[in-house]
Amino acid sequence: MTFKKSIISIAFAICMLTGCADSNHWTSSHPLYHKAPYGGIAVTGIENAFVITRSSWFAKRLEIDKDSMQIKGTQHCRKTFEVEMRKSYGNLTVLSDSAIIKFPEESLKLDDRIFIKGHIPEQGVTLKDSTGNEPPVVLILHEFIIGTDLKREDFFDYALIHNESGSIRKPDNVSAIFSYTLWDNLKQRPLFSAVDEIQQPITTYKLANLTNLIQIAVQKIRKNLIAGVDK
């Protein structure tokens, strides 16, 4: 009996080390996704994607009035996101959310239990910039949730999505949970979709830390778009 318990304990430890505790797939690539964008990209969704939870907590630390926290905080996130995307890709085209919000919200399956929701263009309809040009690919930012000690499973795993959140305690991390799709604008199909999670340990928290969180997110998106190419 002791021997069996030892075997079980070892197996459990190996499972935890190799990632058996989280078998979900948080990315999905189209079989015809063969080339990641490098020199240029279009992006949409950034006007409405950002949401900050626990506004009072952030307002106190960022020295922003509580009633203005959501507006000023998300505005800062949007501007930082655009600046960092421009640094990463050089030729950046920002499409108004009006280009995408008019389409019905649909679900995209990443895994048996992981689904993301977003406004997806209809077949036969291409997105156009302000001059009428059609960008070949568009990064659609669906959701970008900022809070404390958030887990992406609680938002996107359908087996856990209805779980009640735990009691409010002193947080360990500022979290960012964000979902996005790289859209083939010419052939109207999702090339790559993902849900990412960032945990930023809390010491003191200032506006520079929030800026850094968005910078890390853009870097993560870029790396995932490259890693997601079906070779």
Residue 161's pLDDT band (boundaries 50, 70, 90)?
A: low
Total structural domains in the chain? 1
Question: Going by DSSP bridges, is the β-strand pair 105-109/137-148 parallel, antiparallel, or unpaired?
Answer: unpaired
Phi, psi of 79 (to 5 degrees): -65, -45
Q: In angstroms, rounded to a whole number, what is the distance separating the alpha carbons of residues 121 and 136?
A: 14
What pTM was computed for the model? 0.86
State the Cα–Cα distance between residues 37 and 115, nearest whole angstrom. Answer: 24
Query: CB–CB of 186/134 below 8 Å?
Result: yes
Q: Is the residue at 31 inside a domain? A: yes
Q: Is position 11 within any domain? A: no
Share of the chain above pLDDT 90, in %: 68
Q: Residue 3: inside a domain, yes or no?
A: no
Q: For all residues of the chain together, what is the average pLDDT? A: 86
For residue 159, being part of any structural domain is answered with yes
Convert the pLDDT of each residue in 19-50 to its tens digit: 344 456 889 899 999 999 998 999 999 999 99
Structure tokens at 183: 């859209």
Residue 196 lies in a domain: yes
Per-residue CA distances from 190 to 6, 67, 128 (Å): 46, 38, 17
Q: pLDDT, tens digit, for every residue of 208-231?
A: 999 999 999 999 999 999 999 975
Domain range spanning residue 139? Answer: 23-227
Please indicate, yes or no, if residue 18 is contained in any of the structural domains: no
Residue 122, domain member (yes or no): yes
Q: What are the pLDDT digits (tens) for 86-119?
A: 999 989 999 999 999 999 998 888 877 888 889 9
